[in-house]
Structure formats: C-alpha cells, structure tokens
Structure 1
Amino acid sequence: MDLEIEATARKQGSKKRQNKNKKEAMGEQQPKSLWEYGVPDTTTGALSSIVRPTVNVVNFELKPQFIQFISNDSLAGLANECPVSHIASFLEKCDIVKINNVSEDAIRLRLFPFSLRGRAREWLRDEGVGTFDTWKKLAMAFLVKFLGQEKTAKLRNELATFQ
C-alpha cells in the first residue's frame, strides 16, 4: 500500500513527460490517435487533384502578375463557354513563360487552377486527390467534362430556334 500516492503519481507523470521530451528531441514521432488519421494533411498540398511535378530550380517563381493574367480569362464551366478556346488561350499564355530546367507540364499544371472559377473549379477540386500528373491527362479530362455540355447547349439552342 502506497501512503504517498499523490507523490508517486507526480513522479510517474514526470518520468513520462521526460521520456516524451527525449523521444521528440531524438526525432521519434508519437503515435497518432485514431481521429488524427482521418484529418487530411493540408501542409503538403496533398488535397489537390493535380500532382505538381517537382522543380529543381533554386529561384523558381510564378509571378503574381502572370497568375493574374491567367485568371483574367477564366472559365466558369457554363454551357455557353467554349472549353476548346479556353485551352487554346491558356496554352498561348503559358507559352509566354519559359524557365530553364522547368518543364512545360510543371508550369501548366501549377497555373491551370487559376484559369478556372465556379463550377469548373469545383470539378477540378472534386476529381480526387492526385488524379492528374500530366498536362495531357488534365486537358483531356477537362475537355471530356465541359465539351459535352457546350455541344448539348448548342444543339438545344439550334432546336429551339428551328423553324
């Protein structure tokens, strides 16, 4: 029987804290609780449907003015918008920027989300984590999604105005 139960509890708690601090100092990770496994890691950009290629250039930066230039001509995913002309315009703008040792895919994949708004941006976000790792895959999925809507709207309009 322990007559000094409070003192014993304090000593044991102190030892646990010291061991925890030692493990943290040595770089060991503490085990996660169950709810922590369900929380997405927002620090790595892992929530994006676009896998951004690594860039091994020291001073790689896409200037805010260029991002604004891309954003000015954004597509909302409406039926009357043409996704083919949006892609063509986007590629023309991206061709303005050339950075040594940075692939066109890396630039395009980083900039494309800025060219979307509304439903189109929601579509990109909802496609699933890590779905697009090349520009070709992203462009094809985008056209499949939005080109069908444009053609349907055009045909519906033609039928409605047919005499």
Structure 2
Amino acid sequence: MFRKEYTRIESSTQHSSVNEFVVINIPEEDVEPKQIILDPDDQPMWESAKIVAPTPNSAIIQLDVDDNFVINSTHLKMILENKFDGYLRADPHDHIREFLAICDMFKYGEMHSEVVKLLIFPFFLCDKAKTWFNELNEESIISWEQMRRAFINRFFPPSLFNRLLLEIRNFSQNICESLTEDWLRLKNMLQKCHGHSLAKGVIIQIF
C-alpha cells in the first residue's frame, strides 16, 4: 500500500521541484516514504532575492594605521558623551572646540594625531548631523581640515552668519536691563558670530 500526504512546512531540507512545489521524501517504518509538499510561496522572501545592494563606504577615505593601533576607550567615551545633533540651537564652532580639547588630552604620536580625529569624528555626530555625514560622497574626505570645513559650512552657513551679524548691528538695551547685563548679552552674541571681524571701536559704538 502506498500513501501520500501533502503538507506545508517551513523548514528547508534536501528537495526536488515537482510542478512548482517541493517534494520531500521522509522514510517511515513499514510504509512507503511520506511525501510532504513545500509551497514556494511559503519560503522566506530573502531566499528569492538575487541582488543585494552594496553597503556604501564612509565619506572618510580609508586611513592607513598600524595593525596594533588602538584608540583609548576613555577618549571614545568622552566623545560619545558630547555629541553634536545639528539642530539650530547647537553651535558647531563650540562643538569643534570641545572636540579638539578632548582630543588634545590624549596623545597617540604626531603621525596619528590627524588620523585619530578623522576616525572618531563620526562618533561625535548624532541625529541631523549624523544624517548629513552619512549622505556625503563616499571617500570624499581625506584630511581633518577638509572634514572641519565641510562640517562648519553645513552647520554655520553664510546665511546664519549674516543673520547674527545683523542682530549685532541692530543691538539695543532691553527694558529693565542693566548695563552689565546688556554688555554680557552683546558679548555672547559676538561669540556666537564667529569671524565677525568687528573692531573694538565699532563694538563700543554699537553698545
């Protein structure tokens, strides 16, 4: 006596294709091997995929470092705790200054100084800033200065500079604000407008 059963299963084994279904012979005692049918529609979708897109390379060109080169774990932890998100309230110049100050605390040798900055800079970014970095052309950054300029140009564009400079030139004292508070507020505005090049006489006149 021969018996055939048609059952859908999810596991994959050695099989042969019959009329677009997969027949699997499972031996049983005293009976002819049972035939279980695999429906191709039940197979994981990735099994039928023929093309897998390559993962893009980093914007920073591959750096030449020694096989034994290791970045200090404390250094990397401090960078991760001072991330730049790229939103309007974040000052890119202040963050670069903080980034460099942290890097200067750890010594890797003169040859590796720039390499370290480039290697850990992506970990310094998050949210909007990390999205910007990931969208840069592959292997388009070859030096730290190029990375710094690209970063500043994106998050401190000329339009922002012009707006801050206009606010400084139109500066005026607020109601119930003391001269000391007034002066401190102006100094804060000047610090945020990096590269304003205003002479001391012009600043005093504005004040």
TM-score, scaled relative to structure 1:
0.63
Do the aligned residues in 2 keep the contact of 1:74 with 1:115 (CA within 8 Å)?
yes
Question: Given the alignment, which residue of 67, 71, 77 partners 2:80?
Answer: 71
Over aligned residues, Cα RMSD in angstroms? Answer: 2.9
Match of 2:137 in 1: 128
State the Cα distance separating 1:133 from its structure 2 match.
1.2
Match of 2:148 in 1: 139
How many angstroms apart in 1 are the aligned matches of 2:105 and 2:129? 24
Match of 1:88 in 2: 97
Moved over 6 A (4+): 155-158
- Structure 1 residue runs of 5 or longer lacking an equivalent are 1-34
Do the aligned residues in 2 keep the contact of 1:81 with 1:150 (CA within 8 Å)?
no
State the Cα distance separating 1:150 from its structure 2 match.
5.0
Pairing 1:93-132 to 2, within 5 Å after superposition? 93-100=102-109, 102-132=111-141
SS at match of 1:103: helix
Query: Identical aligned pairs, as a percentage?
Result: 24
Do the aligned residues in 1 keep the contact of 2:84 with 2:126 (CA within 8 Å)?
yes
- Looking at secondary structure, tell me which structure has more helix per residue: 1
How many angstroms apart in 2 are the aligned matches of 1:152 and 1:125? 28
TM-aligned CA distance change 1:81 to 1:95, over 3 Å = same
Match of 1:55 in 2: 65
State the Cα distance separating 1:131 from its structure 2 match.
1.2
Do the aligned residues in 1 keep the contact of 2:61 with 2:141 (CA within 8 Å)?
yes
Which protein, 1 or 2, shows the higher relative CO under an 8 Å CA cutoff with sep ≥ 6? 1
Residue type of the alignment partner of 1:123: W
Superposed CA offset, 1:97-156 (max 9, x none): 222474222100011011111100110000121111110111000000001275477579
- In our comparison, the structure showing a higher alpha carbon Rg is 2
Residue type of the alignment partner of 1:47: N
TM-score, scaled relative to structure 2:
0.51
